A and B are shown apart, each in its own frame.
Chain A
């Protein structure tokens, strides 16, 4: 039926399949190993025992009560989710201005974004906490330990990246499209919303994914900025391995199980959003 090759096709089907298989193996071997470890009794992990003496499937049950994993997952989704959505909105606004207007400080601002990206975040931990604490003291509010404190932090860390990314996307969207709309009397913001956003969706999705992962992965800031109620997943996972400091064995099995399970929300999130990755310019019917 489809005799003619898709012009977008760059790898021939056999080559494509070969590359996919190799990549899948590279991805899956450590994952499979992780899964094997997750059902191996803790005393046998990392020893010369290859096939566990028994399958410790109960790790997948215990892990929910060893730490409050459900709460942690929820917290991480709330925190990383909110932070990434706000980051993308703010980045979109900034990127639009940067790509559509010439103003003093435009290039310096872009440079600043890269500069911010080079700041070693370890360096900011102590000062940031001091600043939050001062705000707390000055305004007589509880700030450290709330969702807001971590969200604002992650949001800011993700913003330079998201802005750069969207600058690059918006830059490749031809002005003609907007101009047609602007001539009709629509405002800039309407044009942004109606013309640019649909075209920039792939870029926005990418920015969203990366911003999300900024918060999802962080351990350092979350460990001091959250309270038990707002503690994120990444920090909670540490609990499984910190058991060793009390003299017991790390709960490797539960940790591995928990990490497999906790990868699901992000993969699902991506699968939901990925249809927006296709689309963009091609869907908008723009001609080169």
Chain B
């Protein structure tokens, strides 16, 4: 038991082969537990998704909105428009938006991961006041996104916001550095989102830490492992499924974050902060080009699916039993 923490750790997971059919234990196989979820997916996401895909082939605008089923069929025209990368006067073009969204979601995920892990480690052992610290960490995450965005809009106001004042006080930047306009707007968005969402990783890791057996720590302690070794040899390997999943879901969640840039910048946003969901919203609901918005959504869907699947395969997420 006291040999290699890593090995004893990994022996936890691939324990048994999945059962095939009725084998033992009453022989019941309550597959029906899956049906409510599947039903919901079909009704709430599946059917609307099909409608949205259908819309992406239509020229649906303010003139055809009322009888949208009869809107003119334009084939792939919306897809061509979305992919042509043509300049648009409102925000960024679809392809540029896609790039911004990818950069935004990957970058924020990259930033929140170490913060979240570190935070979880500070409350993993018990001490007086731990409950308070745990609750404190959660506050940014539970403030409604709408409000987070407004707080950071205030913080980033040029000249009068806290950020510019602080930077100017330590002579790092001009007090009138613009954060809500131009290239800095991307970074403003990243900072605000990082602040608001690192607790996601924190909660995931904290819960994950609870599932690491005491024995493993103890054996490591007997071996005289230092903090860094404990972290890299026990914690991270043990958490790799949870972390892998957290990174994936975090990337997807950030990719779909609409409220934050919408409230922080308003519409139309600065080109550098025109993330795809915002672009889709403006195209559909403000410029009345629902077909284009639909096409952009479908393209997003496809583009996000591919790396998602590759990632799942690579990390063998979900194959915990079948491995």
A/B: CB atoms within 8 Å of each other: yes
Q: Specify the chain B residue showing the minimal Cβ separation from A266.
A: B142
Q: Which residue numbers of A lie inside 8 Å of B, CB to CB?
A: 5-12, 15-16, 19-20, 23-24, 26-31, 33-34, 37, 45-48, 90-91, 93-94, 96-103, 106-107, 109-112, 114-124, 126-128, 130-131, 152-153, 155-157, 159-161, 163-165, 167-169, 171-172, 174-176, 178-179, 181-183, 185-189, 191, 202-203, 205-206, 209-210, 213, 216-220, 233-234, 237-238, 241, 252, 255-256, 259, 262-263, 266-267, 270-271, 274, 277-282, 286-288
Secondary structure class of chain B's binding surface, majority of residues: helix
Indicate if the CB atoms of B320 and A118 lie closer than 8 Å: no
A67: min CB distance to chain B, Å: 13
- Distance (whole angstroms) from the CB of B112 to the closest CB of chain A: 12
A79 CB, min distance to chain B CBs, angstroms:
13
The closest CB in chain B to the CB of A31 belongs to B139
Chain B residues with Cβ under 8 A from A131's Cβ?
43, 47-48, 51
**Which residues of B lie under 8 Å from residue A263 when comparing CB positions?**
139, 142-143
CB distance from B199 to the nearest CB of A (A): 9
Nearest residue (CB) in A for B30 is A188
A11 to B253, CA, bound (A): 30
B45 touches A156 (CB 8 A): yes
Nearest B residue (CB) for A171: B320
Binds A, one of B7-15, B76-84, B87-95: B7-15
Residue B155 interfacial (CB < 8 Å): yes
Whether the pair B26, A185 counts as a contact (CB closer than 8 A) is: yes
Question: B45 and A96: CB pair below 8 A?
Answer: no
CB-CB under 8 A for A19 and B122, given A124-B49, A126-B284: yes
Partner of A169, one of B115, B211, B284, B300: B211
Taking the complex as formed, is B74 at the interface, i.e. its CB lies under 8 A from any CB of chain A?
no
Question: Is the C-beta of B249 less than 8 angstroms from some C-beta in chain A?
Answer: yes
Residues of A within 8 Å of B230, CB to CB, are 10
Q: Which 6 pairs, one residue from A and one from B, show the smallest C-beta to C-beta distance?
A: A182-B25, A171-B320, A93-B33, A123-B297, A127-B48, A127-B51
User: If the complex has contacts A10-B124, A188-B30, are A267 and B119 also in contact, measured as CB distance less than 8 A?
Assistant: no
Instruction: Provide the bound-state CA to CA distance between A128 and B118, in Å.
Output: 40
Are B146 and A46 in contact, with the CB atoms below 8 A? no
A287–B215 CB distance below 8 A: yes
Residues of B within 8 A of A (CB): 1, 8-9, 11-13, 15-16, 18-20, 24-26, 28-31, 33-34, 36-38, 40-41, 43-45, 47-52, 55, 68, 115, 118-119, 121-122, 124-126, 131, 133-147, 150-152, 154-155, 157, 159-162, 195, 200, 203-204, 206-218, 220-221, 227, 230-231, 235, 241-242, 245, 248-249, 252-253, 255-256, 258-259, 276-277, 280-281, 284, 290, 293-294, 297, 300-301, 304-305, 308-309, 312, 317-322
User: In the complex, how many angstroms separate the beta carbon of B193 from the nearest chain A beta carbon?
Assistant: 13
Asked whether B44 lies within 8 Å of A152 as measured between CB atoms, the reply is yes
Inter-chain contact A123/B45, CB cutoff 8 Å? no
CB distance from A71 to the nearest CB of B (A): 16
Given contacts A16-B125, A130-B68, 6 further A-B contacts (CB under 8 A): A27-B137, A122-B277, A202-B208, A263-B143, A274-B134, A278-B210
Given known pairs A10-B235, A27-B136, A172-B13, the reply for A99 and B277 (CB within 8 Å) is no
| A157 and B253 alpha carbons, distance in the complex (Å) | 11
Report the nearest B residue to A152, measured CB to CB.
B44
Roughly how many angstroms separate A160 CA and B231 CA in the complex, as a whole number? Answer: 30
The answer, among A5, A97, A109, A114, for a CB contact under 8 Å with B308, is A114
What's the least CB distance linking B312 to chain A, in Å? 6
User: Are A116 and B122 neighbours in the complex by a CB distance under 8 Å?
Assistant: no
A37 to B204: give the CA distance in the assembly, Å.
Answer: 32
Q: Which of B140, B144, B220 contacts A237 (CB 8 A)?
A: B144
Measured between C-beta atoms, what is the minimum distance from B225 to chain A in Å?
10
Closest B-chain residue to A134, C-beta based? B47
Asked whether, in the complex, the Cβ of A94 is within 8 Å of the Cβ of B33, the reply is yes
CB distance from A227 to the nearest CB of B (A): 19
Inter-chain contacts of B24 with A (CB < 8 A)? 179, 182-183
Q: Is the CB of A217 within 8 A of B144?
A: yes
Given known pairs A26-B195, A93-B33, A116-B41, the reply for A11 and B122 (CB within 8 Å) is yes
CA distance A182 to B131 in the complex (A): 38
Q: How far is the CB of A190 from chain B (nearest CB, A)?
A: 9
CA–CA, A157 and B43, complex, Å: 12
Q: Pick the residue among B155, B249, B276 that contacts A30 (CB under 8 A).
A: B155
Least Cβ–Cβ distance between A152 and chain B, in angstroms: 6
Return B207 CB to nearest CB of chain A, in Å.
Answer: 4
Q: Are A114 and B258 in contact (CB under 8 A)?
A: no
- Please, which residues of chain A bring their CB within 8 A of the CB of B45? 116, 119, 124, 156-157
Asked if A216 and B122 make an inter-chain contact with CB atoms under 8 angstroms apart, the answer reads no
Chain B residue numbers with a CB within 8 Å of A171 are 13, 241, 318, 320-321
A-B contact pairs, 23 of them (CB 8 A): A6-B126, A8-B214, A16-B121, A29-B162, A30-B152, A30-B195, A90-B40, A114-B252, A116-B41, A118-B252, A118-B255, A122-B297, A127-B50, A131-B47, A156-B40, A171-B241, A178-B25, A213-B141, A234-B144, A255-B147, A267-B139, A274-B135, A280-B207
Known: A103-B31, A111-B309, A159-B41. A123 touches B9 (CB 8 A): no
Which of chain A's residues have a CB closer than 8 A to the CB of B131? Answer: 271, 274
